[in-house]
Structure 1
Amino acid sequence: MISELFGRRRAKPNRGAIRGWLSTFVGVAATLFGLLLATFLIGRTIPIDPVVAIVGDRATPDVVARVRADLGLDRPLLEQFWIYLRHLAHGDLGTSVMTSRSVVEDVLHFFPATLELATTAIVIAVLIGVPLGVISASRQGSPLDNAVRIVSLAGQSTPVFVLGLLALLVFYVKFGIAPGIGQQDMGFQGAVPERTGALIIDAALDGQWDAFRDGLAHLVLPSLVLAYVSFSTITRMTRTFMLDALNGEFIVTARAKGLSASRVLWRHAFLNVAGRLVMVIVLAYAGLLEGAVLTETVFGWPGLGLYLTQSLMNADMNAVLGATLVIGGIYITLNQLADMAYRILDPRAKS
């Protein structure tokens, strides 16, 4: 008894789990380093001179050379990369030429608007897409199932910027039932104090309900366009997972026990696919944060995507690389969270 007790105390941790977590850590670190290297090389190889963007194309050669030396762009590429990593370790992404502020400040200012848009879109996509996918699978081959498949396929086949332009053309230009581009009307510009960075939340916290309704009206159309893209993926994957589950032996057993159709569908089949579905939703959310660049550009939404586009047009490479790095880092992080959620929610997943 005592030997068993001490034997349990001396039991070594699960080596497979340790190897799994170590492998995950190494994979994330390698991916982040690859992202850093890729963004750095892109910034140094594209035919845009950041020095000219700073001093202008009429500056004298002496001024251009001095600024290039101050920025360290006259040094070997390997040394430039080391300086880049050293600054990044201190949270320094450089200064934006376009805004004359640090890129970190700009990211903190613009990212909440992107988060507001993407979060609204994923909530809409999940609330509509998951039930439709489940019902479509339960009625395989029915007119409803065929309609859901066609709508989902159209959403995955059409570029998001085309959807955005069509939505503006129909609902803003043709029928006039949606507001124009931007996050709010001109009359509300600067009226809402910035607390969280999300306009409708800040307006609600400040009790400015007119500004809240205006912000919500501007949020509807771009969020619906983004939601349609994610809705298509979530609906199709939900339907696929549910069809696989409904053909399982445990469903036959549940039906043989006399359980109701709704209980078999939601309690047994749906819960069986929840782990995989959460992974799909998290990855879809990461894709929204990444793909909001085109949507924000079309709708003039003042988020990180529009900031990235305008920075690229102004040859503001510090801002371009900083925003790209942030978006890539978020995508990698959410990818790992999705994997962890899948392992926790699905007992069949190996650690």
Structure 2
Amino acid sequence: MAFEPDAAAAAGPSRARRAGAGGMGPLKALAGFLFSLALTFLGLLAITFFIGREIPIDPVLAAVGDRAPPAVYQAERLKMGLDQPRIMQFVRFVGAMSTGDFGTSVSTGKPVLEDLKRVFPATLEMATLGIIIGMVIGIPMGVYAASRRGSLMDQAIRVVGLAGYAVPAFWLGLVGLALFYARLKWVGGPGRIDVFYDDMVQPVTGLMLVDSLLAGETEIFWNAVSHIVLPAAVLGFFSLAYIARMTRSFMLDQLAQEYITTARVKGVPERLVIWRHAFRPILVPLITVCGLSYAGLLQGSVMIETIFSWPGIGNYLTVALLNADMSAVLGSTVVIGAVFIAINKISDVLYRVLDPRAR
């Protein structure tokens, strides 16, 4: 009888330690996640800064002009801290970025952060619509191609997927403008809205479609729709091609599993076999694919924005490069990289939430 209290006493601390360890698990996971995020962002800042310093562009000359006296040039160089060692410049750069100080744009004369707040919503709006088009069309295409493997439709969908990799974005954008805008008049031209509607909607979110609806300006809303539909469709095509190919690949792997054969032998309708038994397991990797595709649209829309005169971060970055505006270039690059990191981390979190095996 004396053995039982001793066993209980021995089990008590052990149980308490397990409970404490279980309580610390989420905290350790959160700390690890935040550390990984901070380290990744620091790496992004380092790559952006040191590559930016190797570009054969003199930021001082871009700021003061090529006719500035030597004294003015030297004073601006000291102000920028370019007389200091490279590592000290990087430390200063990281400190400024951590406080939201991205410098002042030579092109606009405004703080870079203020410019980015103005142009980034335009890119976000177009890329979001593009990824919606890619997901809504690309996922069913991939599922259908896998379920009809070897058929004529499967071959056609595979050709569309290959075209998404082979067709240059600038060519597709120019052809779209020439056909649907210049010839058929089905869509609006370059820009977010017609010049007539400029400054008629008070920016709230920066998203023209949302702000026009909030202001009750339905005419401006439909005008904005006519302008965004073509560039978003071009972006959506490249996203669609990638998502369709990956969906088809995932589905083919699932349809070859034994449990699919078992379900078919039991007489389960083919529609349920495909969408319930085969499609559900691929949702987790498909989320990662869509997340990376979305991030790719946000950072890869430079050419599309230039062709369609879209006032987004890609167009802003292009103008900054042409004007040797290094503060704007570095700020834009950091923001684009930060968005890519954030979407990648969110996809990783969703992966773990939806798939208990990854926890």
Shared fold, TM over 0.5? yes
What is the count of residue pairs matched by the alignment? 350
Q: TM-score, normalised by structure 2?
A: 0.92
Map of 1:152 onto structure 2: 161
Identity score, percent: 46
* Range moving further from structure 2, 142-151 or 50-59: 50-59
Map of 1:54 onto structure 2: 63
C-alpha spacing 1:2/1:164, structure 2 compared with 1 (3 Å): farther
Map of 1:135 onto structure 2: 144
Residue 89 of structure 2 is aligned to residue 65 of structure 1: no
Map of 1:302 onto structure 2: 311
Residue 320 of structure 2 is aligned to residue 311 of structure 1: yes
* Range moving further from structure 2, 64-73 or 250-259: 250-259
C-alpha spacing 1:209/1:310, structure 2 compared with 1 (3 Å): same
Q: How does 1:3-22 map to 2 (within 5 A)?
A: 7-11=14-18, 12-13=21-22
Map of 1:45 onto structure 2: 54
Residue 280 of structure 2 is aligned to residue 271 of structure 1: yes
Q: Distance in 2 between matches of 1:343 and 1:256?
A: 33
Q: Distance in 1 between matches of 2:23 and 2:116?
A: 41
Task: Tell me how far 1:209 sits from its aligned partner.
Answer: 1.0
The one of 23, 28, 36 equivalent to 2:45 is 36
Q: Which amino acid aligns with 1:8?
A: R
Task: Tell me how far 1:32 sits from its aligned partner.
Answer: 1.8
The one of 199, 210, 226 equivalent to 1:217 is 226
Q: Distance in 1 between matches of 2:356 and 2:90?
A: 43
Task: Tell me how far 1:113 sits from its aligned partner.
Answer: 0.7
Q: CA RMSD in A?
A: 2.1
Q: How does 1:78-117 map to 2 (within 5 A)?
A: 78-117=87-126
The one of 338, 341, 351 equivalent to 2:350 is 341
Q: Distance in 1 between matches of 2:354 and 2:314?
A: 33
SS in 2 for 1:196: coil
Unaligned stretches of 5+ in structure 1?
none
SS in 2 for 1:184: coil
SS in 2 for 1:10: helix
Q: Distance in 2 between matches of 1:243 and 1:44?
A: 47
SS in 2 for 1:13: helix
* Range moving further from structure 2, 11-20 or 242-251: 11-20
Q: Distance in 2 between matches of 1:306 and 1:222?
A: 13
C-alpha spacing 1:237/1:15, structure 2 compared with 1 (3 Å): farther
Q: TM-score, normalised by structure 1?
A: 0.94
Map of 2:4 onto structure 1: none
Map of 1:283 onto structure 2: 292
Q: Distance in 2 between matches of 1:257 and 1:20?
A: 43
Deviations 1:239-291 (A, max 9, x none): 11011111111112222322111111111100011111111111111111111
Q: Distance in 2 between matches of 1:100 and 1:109?
A: 14
Map of 1:231 onto structure 2: 240
* Range moving further from structure 2, 191-200 or 157-166: 157-166
Larger Rg: 2
C-alpha spacing 1:141/1:348, structure 2 compared with 1 (3 Å): farther
Deviations 1:69-95 (A, max 9, x none): 111112221221111112122111111
Task: Tell me how far 1:19 sits from its aligned partner.
Answer: 7.7
Task: Tell me how far 1:97 sits from its aligned partner.
Answer: 1.3
Q: Distance in 2 between matches of 1:204 and 1:2?
A: 67
Q: Which amino acid aligns with 1:105?
A: E
Map of 1:164 onto structure 2: 173
Q: Distance in 2 between matches of 1:306 and 1:65?
A: 31
* Range moving further from structure 2, 308-317 or 4-13: 4-13
Task: Tell me how far 1:22 sits from its aligned partner.
Answer: 6.2
Q: Distance in 2 between matches of 1:256 and 1:271?
A: 20
SS in 1 for 2:190: coil
Unaligned stretches of 5+ in structure 2?
1-6
Q: Distance in 1 between matches of 2:87 and 2:41?
A: 18
SS in 2 for 1:344: helix
Residue 203 of structure 2 is aligned to residue 194 of structure 1: yes
Q: Distance in 1 between matches of 2:306 and 2:229?
A: 16
The one of 331, 337, 341 equivalent to 2:340 is 331
